[in-house]
Structure 1
Amino acid sequence: MEEEALQVLEALVQPNGLYVASSTPDYRYVWIRDTCYVAFAYLQKKDGHYEQIYSTLLDLFKKYKWKIEYHAEKRPEATFEYIHPRYDPDRLEELHEPWGNAQNDAIGLFLFGIGEGLRVGKTMFRDESDREIVQLLAKYLVNLEFWQDADNGMWEEYAELHASSIGACVAGLMAISPYVLVDQTAVRYGMHALIDLLPRESATKECDLAQLSLIYPYQLLPMELSREIVAQVENQLLRQKGVIRYKGDQYFAEEGSEAQWGFGLPWLGLCYLIVGDVEKAHSYLLWTESIMPKPGILPELYLGQSGSPNQHTPLAWAEAMYVLLHEQVSEWRNKV
Structure 2
Amino acid sequence: MQALHTVLDSMRLPNGAYIASPSNDYSYVWIRDVGYAVLPYLNSNCDRYEKTYHALLDLFRRYEWKIDIHTRQKPVLPYEYIHARYSKDLTELLQPWGHAQNDSIGLFLWGVGEGVRRGKPILRDEADRRILQKLVDYLACLEYWQEPDNGMWEENVEIHASSVGACVAGLKSIRMLVDVPEELIRNGEQTLSKLLPRESLTKKTDLALLSLIYPYQVVSRDMAFHILYDVATKLERKYGCIRYKGDRYYNEGREAEWCFGFPWLGLCHAVLGEEEKVLEYWEKTKQIIPENGEIPELYIGGTDRPNGNTPLAWAVAMTILLHERVQKMALVRVNT
TM-score, normalising length: structure 1: 0.98
Aligned to 2:33, what secondary structure does the other structure show? helix
Q: Partners in 2 of 1:314 and 1:45 — Cα distance?
A: 23
Alpha-carbon shift at residue 142 of structure 1 (Å): 1.1
Q: What letter matches 2:300 in structure 1?
A: L
Cross-structure match for 1:42: 41
Aligned to 1:6, what secondary structure does the other structure show? helix
Cross-structure match for 1:31: 30
Deviations 1:305-329 (A, max 9, x none): 1111000011000000000000112
Q: Partners in 2 of 1:292 and 1:325 — Cα distance?
A: 13
Q: Partners in 2 of 1:28 and 1:79 — Cα distance?
A: 21
Q: What letter matches 1:332 in structure 2?
A: M
Structural mapping, 1:103-252, within 5 Å: 103-252=101-250
Alpha-carbon shift at residue 98 of structure 1 (Å): 1.3
* Contact map agreement 1:38 1:317 (CA 8 A) in 2: yes
Cross-structure match for 1:291: 288
Q: Partners in 1 of 2:296 and 2:8 — Cα distance?
A: 13
Alpha-carbon shift at residue 279 of structure 1 (Å): 1.8
Structural mapping, 1:7-22, within 5 Å: 7-22=6-21
Alpha-carbon shift at residue 296 of structure 1 (Å): 2.0
Q: Partners in 2 of 1:38 and 1:274 — Cα distance?
A: 19
Aligned to 1:76, what secondary structure does the other structure show? coil
Q: Partners in 2 of 1:97 and 1:72 — Cα distance?
A: 24
Q: Partners in 1 of 2:245 and 2:137 — Cα distance?
A: 35
* Contact map agreement 1:289 1:295 (CA 8 A) in 2: no
Q: Partners in 2 of 1:285 and 1:154 — Cα distance?
A: 24
Is 1:311 the counterpart of 2:317? The answer is: no
Q: What letter matches 1:42 in structure 2?
A: Y
Q: What letter matches 2:252 in structure 1?
A: E
* Contact map agreement 1:289 1:296 (CA 8 A) in 2: no
Deviations 1:178-206 (A, max 9, x none): 11001210110100001100000000000
Q: Partners in 1 of 2:303 and 2:173 — Cα distance?
A: 43
Q: Partners in 2 of 1:50 and 1:266 — Cα distance?
A: 21
Deviations 1:263-298 (A, max 9, x none): 010000000001111121122112111112334221
Q: Partners in 1 of 2:65 and 2:13 — Cα distance?
A: 26
Cross-structure match for 1:265: 262
* Contact map agreement 1:146 1:190 (CA 8 A) in 2: yes
Q: Partners in 2 of 1:226 and 1:235 — Cα distance?
A: 14
* Contact map agreement 1:3 1:296 (CA 8 A) in 2: no
Q: Partners in 2 of 1:304 and 1:251 — Cα distance?
A: 8
Q: Partners in 2 of 1:153 and 1:215 — Cα distance?
A: 17
Percent of paired sites with the same residue: 51
Structure 2 spans left out of the alignment, 5+ residues: none
Alpha-carbon shift at residue 3 of structure 1 (Å): 1.1
Structural mapping, 1:93-112, within 5 Å: 93-112=91-110
Q: What letter matches 1:333 in structure 2?
A: A
Alpha-carbon shift at residue 103 of structure 1 (Å): 0.1
Q: Partners in 2 of 1:109 and 1:220 — Cα distance?
A: 13
Alpha-carbon shift at residue 244 of structure 1 (Å): 0.2
Deviations 1:132-182 (A, max 9, x none): 001101110111000000000000001000000000000000000011001
Q: What letter matches 1:121 in structure 2?
A: G
How many equivalent residue pairs? 333
Q: Partners in 1 of 2:167 and 2:319 — Cα distance?
A: 25
Q: Partners in 1 of 2:149 and 2:171 — Cα distance?
A: 18
Q: Partners in 1 of 2:33 and 2:103 — Cα distance?
A: 11
Cross-structure match for 1:327: 324
Q: Partners in 2 of 1:33 and 1:65 — Cα distance?
A: 19
* Contact map agreement 1:142 1:183 (CA 8 A) in 2: no
Alpha-carbon shift at residue 55 of structure 1 (Å): 0.3
Q: Find 1:301's aligned residue among 298, 303, 323.
A: 298
Superposition RMSD in Å:
0.8
TM-score, normalising length: structure 2: 0.98
Deviations 1:189-226 (A, max 9, x none): 10000110000000000000000000000001111111
Aligned to 2:296, what secondary structure does the other structure show? coil
